[in-house]
Structure 1
Amino acid sequence: MLATALLEAVWRDPAETLGALADEPWAIGFLSGGTDAGWSYVAAAPDATLTLAADDRRDPFAALKEMVGEPTSGAPDGPPFQGGVAGLASYDLGDRVERLGLGRLDDWPDLACGRYPSVLAFDHRRRRSIAVGRGADPAAARRAAETALAWLALPARQAAPPAADLSPDDPAVYEAAVAEVVGRIHAGEIFQANIARRWRGRLAQGAAPADVLANLAARSPAPFASYLRLPGRAVVSNSPERFLRVVPCDGRLTAETQPIKGTAPRGRSEAEDRALAEALAASPKDRAENLMIVDLMRNDLARVCSAGSVRTPELFRLVSFANVHHLVSTVTGLLAPGRTAVDLLQASFPPGSITGAPKVQAMKVISQLEPPRGPFFGAMFQLGFDGMLDSSVLIRTAGFVQEGDRPGATWRVEARAGAGIVADSDPRQERQETESKISAMAAALGAA
């Protein structure tokens, strides 16, 4: 049984706090932004790490269970995440579930995570910061909390303009891929597939991924933004989409997923913006696209939930972000006795909203039309010592690779944006949708 210590402190902006730690290997952050911001988290200095490369044949889900250990409750009045395992599940982790022979991108790991006994939690609604410590006894837990508390005093990062020279893949190639998927749908091979487009470039000398993170937090806050610094690599995500959440309650585990499907750009005037939102909410194409993924996620949850417990309490809710409107639905369930959050992750990975339906065949089509995905369209996750899980879909995401290990080495950057392709998709409109989705990330990268 792990002891828990909570030390309440004055409020500090979580993005600023994360920026101060961002160059530390295994620094990680989950930033809740926007009008409904709830809890944000910043952590560093894990006491254990796990990295699984493509040729490492260990069972990743068994390794996660071993790393987090048997569930042990935290403080009942504490934040939802009170320490545990957190990190990156790349899209290609799905190859460990379905064995499709997926390629790999630039040697990105399938799984990279740390176990964090020290965490800073930020309660946006009450404007308070809480240092959380977990340890074998109360003294060890307090020391871990004091480690987290010290991060609040770190000086703010001196940001540099990213000024990335970002270039997209050929739009004609993307439109041809969309047309091919439409043809496969009409031929009966699949019902839907999410096809992504790629942008690549370099940050300016002296700029780092943390500078992109700071720009996003200031200009375009998202509910499921996240950051992870690995040795020589980093992930910056401005995701609007929750993947899976598991909440311990009265000895049982409740599960939830909130897939996003259906997109429209924001308008240039209030009237145009309202018209675009109303058209999206009423669009038969976008509602059908969303419903396909809802059905897929219901099936995924049903694999590990008690019979009859899977429900869809919300369909096609309109949610507006800085650069797009989306349709969001909610699926819930009650995990069957003996099942854990890791079992749910395995049953549902990769996210249905960025694969398609049927999932396995859509993944095969994607692998034929796209380069390997690596971190893109995977998930960032928190797996708590108490059995909780929260995770995001890695859309609106940039991946960074440092060019060499010398001081001041520049960073290569790649970002992707996809669109759900259905029977009546228009290639040009789908390509334009990817441009709307990438716009906030491109602005944060300082791209022309």
Structure 2
Amino acid sequence: MHLTDAEKAMLDGAKGPAHRKAMELLVRYGEALGAERLVETGSVAGTWSVANPIVRDYAARGMDAVFSEFNLDSDEVVEVPPMETLACQLIGGLDRRRPDVMGIAPGIAALNEAGERHFGARGVAMHATCTPYQVGVVPVLGEHLAWMESSAVVYANAVCGARTNTEGRESTGAAALTRRIPYWGLHLPENRAGTHLVQVEVDVPPEMLDWGLLGYWVGEAVQDAIPVVEGRVAGRPSLIHLKHFGAAAASSGGVEMYHIPGTTPEAPDRDAALRGRPPVATLRYGAAERAWAHAALNGSARDRAVDFVMLGCPHNSVEQVLRVVRALEGRRISASSALWVFAPRALAEVAEASGHGDAIRAAGGQLMSDTCPAISRILPKGAKVVATDSAKQAHYLPAIAGVQCWFGSVEECVDAAVTGHWNGRAPC
């Protein structure tokens, strides 16, 4: 792999042991991938969290030991220097404001807080969300990134037109110090062409549920390819719809990028999305495919008595939190159920200032941030049947937590929290 003089100097230790270890990692990584060189990046979204049970054992030896082992893949402990990029902490394992709601021991919460302060002082912005693009970390067209988290990666590539592969904790840690990441995969323009044409033959209204269903079927159909979606898509999809579409497609498949001609920035039309190449296959999404997606997302559910409702994966916008508040108006959560509504830390503050948190708590629910059940592996004690508006959570929670899961609209989920019973129905 070709290195510039500046990169060779970092590899030789000119900027200190941490940069040397970071460059050693990136060279190993790049050579394994077949990358010919590194590319500069100024935006990293990764994790520096110490709340993970495995990481906690290293934290007893100090934060330098945590960073060396988990962010640089280094047995040698090196001192953590300041980050050299815009470095964003992604979603973590607990809600720092409400650890008691999650049943987190005070010592674990204190350790998490110490980790945030340590790495925050070294330049990591503690956004603690899977949706950094909602809280100011907004990449621009053509910008090279080093991002983790499947729903964030697909949004950055498809909606922003930035360039990133789905990275890991080690490669993002190294990138935050060196401003470098291997130049391969979706960093290369020729690898960003659409591969499969998806013709949508039923109306997809501007609803999260419908975009989640479409995304879930598309991901299953194309796996890790790049779909080009066109047809009966009503109006122009919003951030919320594209967020849920991408998260669903990245869950049922491995979609890291998609094109919607006339909507996403690299696809003014179908030909541009495909870069002049014929599609590998043309797929059709109709009533049968939509029904399959709905049945698959509800495939684990048998019991209609719901004891936990989770809303906000990917993390909710303030607009989505308000939708929950309006659905709860004049109602109260059942004594047999629990409602957790998740938003990014920064937007949860806005929601609190707007009175939304008080409204949710008055109804018996909780406004949460920083994490989600699939990441934390924590649900209310005794929860066995879950309802959610998230295709991603519906896909992962049955396997992760051993629960049944219903998937439906925000209003259907709120109704389940209020009545303690699932009354949702498949879309027509």
The answer to whether the superposition gives a TM-score over 0.5 is no
TM-score, scaled relative to structure 1? 0.28
Question: 1 or 2, which has the higher helix percentage?
Answer: 2
Question: 1 or 2, which has the higher strand percentage?
Answer: 1
* Structure with greater contact order relative to length (CA < 8 Å, sep ≥ 6): 1
**Structure with the greater alpha carbon radius of gyration:** 2
TM-score, scaled relative to structure 2? 0.29
